[in-house]
A = this chain, B = another copy of it.
Amino acid sequence: MPAALTLAEIASRLGGRVVGTPETLIRQVGSLEHAGPDQITFFSRLRHKNKLAATHAAAVILAESAQDLTSIPRIVCENPYAYFARVSQLFNPVSAPEPGRHPAAVVANSAKVAATARVDAGAIVEDGATIGERVWVGAGCYVGRDSWIGEDGRLYPSVVVYGGCRIGARAVIHSGAVIGADGFGIAQDAGQWIKIPQIGGVVIGDDVEIGANSTIDRGAIDDTVLEDGVKLDNQVQIGHNVRVGAHTAIAGCAGVAGSAIIGRHCSIGGAAVILGHLELVDHVNVSAGTLISRSILEPGTYTGVFPFDANASWTRNAVWLRHLSKLSDRVRRLEKLLGRKGKNG
């Protein structure tokens, strides 16, 4: 259980300005709707004003512009959501795993497992693999030959890391993620597919999080690379030879095809698709559900989604997409006609 902290203590650790009773005691974070009398919540969406008014939280984190929307004790700060993240980390610290190797784990003799690491039941660590200090290898995980898990990494149960992959410090990898499977490298020849051996590896920087059932393919020849601070949600697919720049976040179900280069500080929305052999510069935001089919050389937000509609209305309108080009021709013809008429009329 995390210790209790007063608002004043929180502010002295994390900054911000306390408004109201600084001795208010906090034991946990909570949501606007369900926070109890020893919990702190946060407010960042104006449309939740009513929820703020009704909250039973002991205190709330909010921006200066919102500070008068409530009279409960509060911490005023610049970025309430980030502040809330830090407060939640205070009350919910990640503890280092209890070191040890479960008797039902299978660790190769030549694997180097730090004395402070933990390897759970059913986990398998192959020859030459390195498991860093305080790493937790969850139940049923697989760490392939010569792979490397940096210090303080957490592999939840059933993560698979193929051989020859390198994962930096403080990684968080969720269950079912597969790192280092073969890229989809096949060459067509006389109607059949010939497999191209995938001899590159995967190199993952520090502070990377990878969601459940995401897949990151090894490189065809050179490595697939995720730079520091990259965050991937669940069921994200990263093809071979891709490079994802530092501090880029990719939401669930998105896919990045082979050899795409994504810049730093990008955000890729859920179920978005980045085609292969493209380049996205830094600070590009791709909206959810958008397919990126050519390189993006200017920072900004890019979208390509069919706006949904009642089905009957969609049916009525969508059929015209097949005739857009002709429709445009017809307008041009009318303009010409009318232009002439305009002159002559």
User: For window 139-176 of chain A, which residues contact chain B by CB distance below 8 Å?
Assistant: 139-140, 142, 144, 156-158, 160, 162, 172, 174-176
B193 touches A249 (CB 8 A): yes
B229 touches A181 (CB 8 A): no
Copies of this subunit: 3
Query: Out of B28, B33, B197, B293, which one reaches A89, CB within 8 Å?
Result: B197
Residues in chain B near residue A52, CB distance under 8 A: none
For residue A16, CB closer than 8 A to chain B, the reply is: no
Stretch at the interface among A3-11, A66-74, A306-314: A306-314
A82 touches B234 (CB 8 A): no
For residue A212, CB closer than 8 A to chain B, the reply is: yes
User: For window 96-111 of chain A, which residues contact chain B by CB distance below 8 Å?
Assistant: 102, 104, 106
Residues in chain B near residue A307, CB distance under 8 A: 293, 304, 318-319, 321-322
Residues in chain B near residue A270, CB distance under 8 A: 255, 257, 273, 275
Q: A181-B234, A253-B237, A270-B255 are in contact. Are A189 and B321 (CB under 8 A)?
A: no
Q: A86-B194, A195-B209, A342-B337 are in contact. Are A293 and B273 (CB under 8 A)?
A: no
Q: Which of A91, A138, A185, A289 has the most CB of B within 10 A?
A: A289
A304 touches B301 (CB 8 A): no
